[in-house]
Structure 1
């Protein structure tokens, strides 16, 4: 599975491709954090995060890969959102700066995320346990023709303007409400995942 699912038992899915080394992804996360929280609280949307490494491709280095792996390690321990908050706070302002490749920094961010089981988190970070998952996510991102993050998809349909100024939180909420209504009207077209998913 290439995505980190949040609230995985509803028929409307928002897929968010983020590059944790990218200032544009950081700005998007800040702008839409409250919107995503509201949508999740409504119980009608699931959000899947797909972490990509486009900035490594563009600028060299491996910071996007390293930090995405660490975020996946945090997800294993139920601390994904808390870890991302620390990543965004520590992200260099210049994407050419590969500071997020530092294992020392990634481990320190784990401590700041609190309640992280370091005995499990640290070996996962050091071993690059989820590097393969991240590389597959990047491969899917590139194969879809995307060249910059963030990208947002609603039920597998790309939402225009996520990386720029044409999409707004209000517009996204409207699109989600429409998708929820369509899912309710045609439940067989959007089957619910099993409870074990």
Structure 2
């Protein structure tokens, strides 16, 4: 279906101008989970603060797992392939939600802009509640050689949106073409680089980074999440002193 936009108001809304500097977060984006203190297993604050750079894919629950991923990175793709079933099981458990932080370090590493274009497109899909479905198609389309910048193609992003289904082209395509969320993508990468949490994929459990990703397995991830859920429950069950009225 071809959608033709008419009128200066609609066209003007998608003028590129200063979009690299403007941080336009996609619909539903949230601030990162933050630990109360630097101790391992610390629980997140009740009201996370900071830029809304994470995309949640489940309701609020005791444990938040944040996954930093680069849509052009073979390692990020391999992580998703290995942990896809585990993530589905964890989401179904009702104990955990997953938040995804899109970063673009591979563009600097290999040249080009495929990661940035794909991340912006994923944010455009998130505006319509189709982040997970769209990113699944991006993984399928990721070139075997990360030096191949095929993901920089706006035309490819449109095709992937069609494959993902239930994404309105009339809204998605101008968002991708005019890079509506480019400022948000840049802010996410800048924040990731400043945090120095290591190369993707990076996993955080309630704001605490898993230190050795090479030894992480689906089973150990489940174990860590179960331990954190128990830790949160213990904190919530601890009585707090309340002032008495004289």
Fold-level similarity (TM above 0.5) = yes
Runs of at least 5 residues in structure 1 that lack an aligned partner in the other structure: 190-197
How many positions carry a matched residue from both structures?
Answer: 187
Aligned counterpart, 2:13: none
Indicate which of 228, 231, 240 corresponds to 1:179: 228
Cα RMSD for the two superposed structures:
1.3
For the pair 1:27 / 2:74, whether they are aligned, the reply is no
Aligned counterpart, 1:195: none
Runs of 4+ in 1 over 2 A off after TM superposition: none
Structure 1 range deviating more: 10-19 or 179-188: 179-188
Q: Can you list the C-alpha shifts for 1:107-155, whole angstroms capped at 9, x where unaligned?
A: 1000000111111111111111111111111111111114421100001
Q: Can you list the C-alpha shifts for 1:77-115, whole angstroms capped at 9, x where unaligned?
A: 111111111101100011111110000001100000011
Q: Which of the pair is proportionally richer in helix?
A: 1
The CA deviation at 1:187 is 2.2
Partner-residue secondary structure (3-state), 2:80: helix
Alignment map for 1:125-164 (pairs within 5 Å): 125-162=176-213, 164=214
The CA deviation at 1:8 is 3.3
CA contact under 8 A between 1:61 and 1:101: conserved in structure 2?
yes
Q: TM-score, normalised by structure 1?
A: 0.91
Say which structure, 1 or 2, has more relative contact order (CA 8 Å, 6+ apart): 1
Q: TM-score, normalised by structure 2?
A: 0.73
